């Protein structure tokens, strides 16, 4: 951080520039930061990116005079204290909610050692409603603060629980972290529907007598323990409240990224009250739209006393039933006479004669059923002719050398072979030339016998015959 940005940061906090980061100045900066830089998540609902880099944090908090949540506020505070010469250790914490802790890296806090060797101090300016002044990190006794009574308790696994008025707030992991380690969880907090930061907007800061906050479209003011809630009527009132109480100038009202679902049994916004008719529905006791009036006939229904279209006349036999006085078809039916109407007394569908429909063979198409003919590719696309590969273009014999026209042309001959020919190989003869017959001492000692009779031809030369 350069000197210009450092002076602008202290001007943003409305405090004179201190020379050292001792215990007194740490207390002053801790309170001033919470009173001037609000805890807010408006960037999430305005579609603004959240980048945990030094340049982006300084530009948003110092130059744009905006706020942020824990990663941004404590991240910028750590850079400020390191520039002043303090030893800063960034630690991760898991926030308590619904009786259990949240995910790892759910929150970021600072453990700071002052330049006067005081502390270490637990500094947290990004938790919303927290301690006004720093807390002694190594102390395990109750520490009184204007915001309440705080207590730090060691856990069995080496972590530290922070309690406010007996209620656990978050659990600190003592291991030192870097600001880049909180990047994945920061992205999850800003984009996940399960994160409470994406469900509603919040903007809050510390005041001299209490705290002022805007949650959604409700202005909440706490002074001297008295809480006052005021509903903001329209968008102009919401933008004016951001500008008046926090110094934040916006062009539009932030909209909830993932609004919470409505409670079961409560009507949704814009829905009619329970028991009242829906918009556009008829009043109680009036006929519904499209239904016939009382005493009137429905459209398409036969008039009273008239016969339905296609129904037999009164007194006439039913269609398909035997005429009056004619003998019944089939054997007589025993038992009591039937009391059903002629329509219900008709034979079932299964008793009716079945008509066999014989479809023509696909090999012999019928002119009556042209759709059953096998379709050829030319019928599927009659306008597009079938293209066939023409193959390689023919070569002209004029472009070839005259002595070797090519074996694909009639009358072509291969050129005569030049050079020495290889000697053909015969069975039983070695492929290398045989050395001359060596003089045999046995031939010299045995007169009258030749060397051929006492020598054998072997694979490597002439060898004496054995036996």
Answer whether 169's CB lies under 8 Å from 130's CB.
Answer: yes
**Tokens standing for residue 367:** 């002119």
**Tokens standing for residue 92:** 């991760």
Residues serving a catalytic function are: 70, 107, 124
**Tokens standing for residue 143:** 């520490």
Answer whether 155's CB lies under 8 Å from 171's CB.
Answer: yes
Strand partners, 111: 89, 122
- Cα angle for residues 10, 71, 118 (degrees, 5° grid): 60
Domains within the chain, CATH numbers bracketed = 3-191 (3.30.2140.20)
Helix axes 3-13, 70-83, angle to 10 degrees: 120
Of 39, 202, 189, nearest in space to 127 by CA: 39
Quote the CA–CA distance of 336 and 341 in Å, as a whole number: 15
Maximal C-alpha separation, the chain: 155
Strand partners, 94: 171
**Tokens standing for residue 73:** 């506020």
**Tokens standing for residue 375:** 């379709």
Quote the CA–CA distance of 293 and 272 in Å, as a whole number: 27
Collapse the DSSP code of 31 into the 3-class scheme (helix H, G, I; strand E, B; otherwise coil) and give the result: helix
From first to last of the 467 residues of the chain, give the pLDDT tens digit.
889 999 999 999 999 999 899 999 999 999 999 999 999 999 999 999 999 999 999 999 999 999 999 999 999 999 999 999 999 999 999 999 887 888 899 999 999 999 998 889 999 999 988 999 999 999 999 999 999 999 999 999 999 999 999 999 999 999 999 999 999 999 999 999 989 899 999 999 999 989 999 999 999 999 988 999 999 999 999 999 999 999 999 999 999 888 876 544 444 444 444 444 444 444 444 444 444 443 443 434 444 344 443 444 444 444 334 443 444 444 444 444 444 444 444 444 444 445 454 554 555 555 554 554 555 554 555 555 556 666 666 655 555 555 545 555 555 555 555 666 665 555 555 555 666 666 656 555 555 555 455 666 666 666 666 65
pTM: 0.57
Alpha carbon distances (Å) from 352 to 344, 346, 348, 349: 15, 10, 7, 5
């Amino acid at each position: 951080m350069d000197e210009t940005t450092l002076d602008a940061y202290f001007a943003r906090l409305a405090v004179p520039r201190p020379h050292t980061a001792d215990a007194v100045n740490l207390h002053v900066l801790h309170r001033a930061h919470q009173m001037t830089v609000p805890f807010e998540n408006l960037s999430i609902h305005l579609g603004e990116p959240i980048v945990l880099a030094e340049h982006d944090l300084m530009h948003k908090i110092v130059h744009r005079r905006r706020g942020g949540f824990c990663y941004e506020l404590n991240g910028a505070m750590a850079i400020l204290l390191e520039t002043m010469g303090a030893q800063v250790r960034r630690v991760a914490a898991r926030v308590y909610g619904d009786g259990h802790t949240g995910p790892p890296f759910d929150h970021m806090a600072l453990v700071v050692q002052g330049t006067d060797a005081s502390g270490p101090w637990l500094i947290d300016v990004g938790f919303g409603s927290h301690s006004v002044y720093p807390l002694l990190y190594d102390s395990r006794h109750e520490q009184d603060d204007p915001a309440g009574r705080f207590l730090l308790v060691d856990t069995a696994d080496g972590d530290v629980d922070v309690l406010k008025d007996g209620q656990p707030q978050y659990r600190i992991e003592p291991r030192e972290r870097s600001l880049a380690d909180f990047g994945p969880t920061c992205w999850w907090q800003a984009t996940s529907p399960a994160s409470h930061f994406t469900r509603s907007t919040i903007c809050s800061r510390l005041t001299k007598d209490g705290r002022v906050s805007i949650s959604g479209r409700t202005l909440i003011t706490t002074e001297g323990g008295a809480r006052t809630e005021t509903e903001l009527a329209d968008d102009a009132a919401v933008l004016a409240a951001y500008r008046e109480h926090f110094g934040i100038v916006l062009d539009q009202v932030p909209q909830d990224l993932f609004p919470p679902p409505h409670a079961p049994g409560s009507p949704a916004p814009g829905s009619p009250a329970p028991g009242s008719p829906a918009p556009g529905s008829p009043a109680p006791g009036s006929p519904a739209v499209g239904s016939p009036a009382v005493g009137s006939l429905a459209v398409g229904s036969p008039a009273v006393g008239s016969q339905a279209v296609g129904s037999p006349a009164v007194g006439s036999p039913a269609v398909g039933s035997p005429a009056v006085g004619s003998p019944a078809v089939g054997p007589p039916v025993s038992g009591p006479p039937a009391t059903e109407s002629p329509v219900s007394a008709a034979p079932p569908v299964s008793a009716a004669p079945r008509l066999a429909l014989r479809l023509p063979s696909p090999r012999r198409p019928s002119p009556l059923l042209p759709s059953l003919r096998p379709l050829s590719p030319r019928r599927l696309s009659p306008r597009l002719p079938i293209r066939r590969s023409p193959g390689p273009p023919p070569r002209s014999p004029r472009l070839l050398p005259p002595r070797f026209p090519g074996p694909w042309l009639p009358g072509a001959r291969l050129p005569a072979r030049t050079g020495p020919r290889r000697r053909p190989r015969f069975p039983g003869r070695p492929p290398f030339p045989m050395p001359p017959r060596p003089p045999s001492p046995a031939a010299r000692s045995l007169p009258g016998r030749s060397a051929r009779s006492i020598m054998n031809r072997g694979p490597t030369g002439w060898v004496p015959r054995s036996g």
